[in-house]
């Protein structure tokens, strides 16, 4: 019988006020597969987070500061990279304990973090499973008299079905969910107006899980033993924890009065923003209130992201991806906070995806290299989306030419030999191939290819692209 491997790390020390954490992992696309862990944790101060994560010594591996909110909370992340993750370690669970949660209404005291994933090779992608990717700020707040829906932004590198739920034993020590907050399997949180007796902070302990969209086989590379996973069995399960605070009633729940309202050019929730490796990305965030004063932008994003302000209600988020970020789809979430007579008000939580890679327009040429498109925003992942992002320069060919001077070039076709593309859709290739192919063609045209390109389906996972002669 196959056994799992459990790693338990108990951290003690200063009485840190814990504000939640998220752990995700990701396998690269190049063999031998590299496993990257992102461990994002929050506490009442940045020094306490250092103690929680590495006993105060964060030299190896480094811990990156993400954001903090004026002596209330701090969020940091640690990035662990494993070039050898163990030939026999097909499942892995990681538990972390710390001193105590921030005092909360649902009686959660001792934190427990556990990530589960299956490291055996999947038959559909021929590599181990990557967990869902998501994030959130440590403290989300809403007035007790205002309706609020929080739509979490989650993605899965393997295209799996993602579902959310509250944690249950043994995924938590005390598992009482917040009485004022409901969660749907589609990862939406809902708060309905309540009375003053429910005001205060609540500890939120959730699980985000990925399920294969079809029956797959998992193979242990060491023994060859296989196991079948159906679409009703989770492959990976990550902890998703934060604090939800119910504040005193606001004079008005109308956005733009006390609760900040987002204005253009702030990207829409779920937008996908593309950038290139080592190219600085800037995201403009603008919000307004008429009966309060905007005070700060709070966010959670990838390591190295930062914020700045250029006046009341005008903010900029910046991030420069490195080579190790190539091809990754990072979630970035933010709120704008306002103050009026000592009361604090938050906007809706808004999240976007930032995707890295070298974005190339494929124009075959003998004299000039492929042109590079600027960062742009594409539709949310709930619709079909394809980007021509590549981790390495894309190779194109030109039509064969005669060695005779001034000879007429032999007409096409031209072929795109390498196209690293990412597609997210609810359509099935087996039944909706024509629709998918048409959507891919339209997206390639938007990326700069000629309007008369032709596409050929090579297999259920491969598409051939042919461009006409120049």
All structural domains of the chain with their residue ranges: 1-240, 250-356, 367-467
Check pLDDT > 80 for residue 434.
Answer: no
Q: Determine the Cα–Cα distance for residues 267 and 12; give it in Å rounded to an integer.
A: 41
Check pLDDT > 60 for residue 407.
Answer: no
Give the pLDDT mean for 16-28: 90
Q: Determine the Cα–Cα distance for residues 14 and 366; give it in Å rounded to an integer.
A: 64
- Helix residue spans in 266-352 (DSSP H): none
The CATH fold assigned to 250-356 is Immunoglobulin-like (2.60.40)
Helices (H) and strands (E) in the chain, counts: 2, 35
Compute the mean pLDDT over every residue in the chain, rounded to the nearest whole number: 79
Q: Which of 64-73, 241-250, 388-397 has the lowest mean pLDDT?
A: 388-397
Which of 266, 65, 31, 36 is closest to 131 using CA atoms?
36
Phi, psi of 466 (to 5 degrees): -125, 130
Cis peptide before 116 (omega within 30 of 0): no
Look at residue 141 and give its three-state secondary structure. Answer: strand
47-104 pLDDT, tens per residue? 888 776 766 666 667 788 999 998 899 999 988 888 866 545 555 665 554 569 999 9
Q: Is 0.85 surpassed by the pTM of this model?
A: no
Torsion of CA 189, 193, 198, 200, to 10 degrees: 60
Q: What is the pLDDT of residue 91?
A: 59
Q: Which two tokens stand for residue 335?
A: 């709120």
């Amino acid at each position: 019988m196959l056994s799992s491997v459990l790693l338990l790390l108990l951290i003690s020390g200063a009485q840190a006020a814990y504000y939640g954490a998220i752990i995700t992992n990701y396998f690269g696309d190049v063999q031998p597969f590299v496993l990257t862990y992102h461990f994002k944790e929050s506490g009442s101060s940045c020094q306490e987070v250092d103690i929680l994560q590495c006993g105060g010594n964060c030299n190896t591996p480094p811990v990156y500061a993400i954001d903090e909110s004026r002596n209330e909370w701090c969020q940091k992340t640690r990035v662990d990279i494993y070039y050898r993750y163990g030939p026999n370690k097909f499942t892995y669970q990681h538990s972390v304990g710390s001193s105590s949660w921030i005092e909360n209404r649902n009686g959660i005291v001792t934190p427990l973090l556990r990530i589960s994933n299956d490291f055996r090779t999947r038959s559909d992608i021929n590599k181990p499973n990557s967990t869902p990717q998501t994030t959130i700020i440590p403290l989300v707040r809403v007035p007790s008299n205002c309706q609020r829906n929080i739509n979490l932004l989650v993605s899965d590198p393997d295209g799996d079905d993602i579902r959310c739920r509250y944690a249950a034993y043994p995924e938590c020590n005390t598992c009482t969910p917040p009485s004022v907050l409901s969660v749907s399997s589609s990862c939406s949180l809902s708060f309905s107006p309540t009375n003053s007796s429910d005001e205060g902070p609540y500890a939120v302990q959730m699980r985000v899980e990925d399920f294969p969209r079809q029956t797959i086989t998992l193979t242990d590379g060491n023994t060859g033993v296989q196991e079948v996973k159906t679409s009703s069995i989770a492959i990976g399960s990550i902890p998703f924890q934060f604090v939800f605070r119910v504040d005193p009633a606001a004079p008005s729940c109308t956005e733009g009065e006390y609760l900040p309202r987002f204005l253009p050019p702030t990207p829409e929730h779920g937008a996908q923003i593309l950038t290139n490796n080592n190219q600085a990305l800037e995201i403009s965030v603008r919000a307004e209130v008429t009966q309060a004063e905007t005070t700060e932008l709070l966010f959670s994003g990838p390591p190295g992201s930062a914020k700045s302000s250029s006046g009341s209600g005008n903010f900029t988020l910046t991030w420069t991806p490195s080579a190790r970020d190539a091809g990754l789809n990072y979630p970035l979430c933010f709120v704008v906070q306002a103050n009026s007579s000592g009361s604090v008000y938050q906007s809706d939580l808004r999240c976007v995806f930032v995707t890295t890679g070298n974005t190339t327009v494929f124009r075959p040429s003998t004299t000039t290299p492929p042109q590079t498109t600027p960062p742009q925003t594409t539709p949310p992942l709930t619709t079909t989306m394809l980007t021509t992002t590549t981790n390495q320069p894309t190779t194109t060919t030109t039509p064969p030419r005669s060695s005779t001077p001034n000879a007429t070039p032999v007409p096409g076709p031209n072929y795109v030999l390498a196209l690293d593309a990412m597609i997210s859709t609810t359509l099935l290739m087996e039944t909706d191939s024509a629709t998918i192919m048409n959507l891919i063609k339209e997206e390639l045209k938007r990326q700069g290819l000629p309007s008369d390109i032709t596409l050929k389906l090579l297999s259920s996972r491969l598409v051939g692209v042919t461009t006409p002669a120049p």
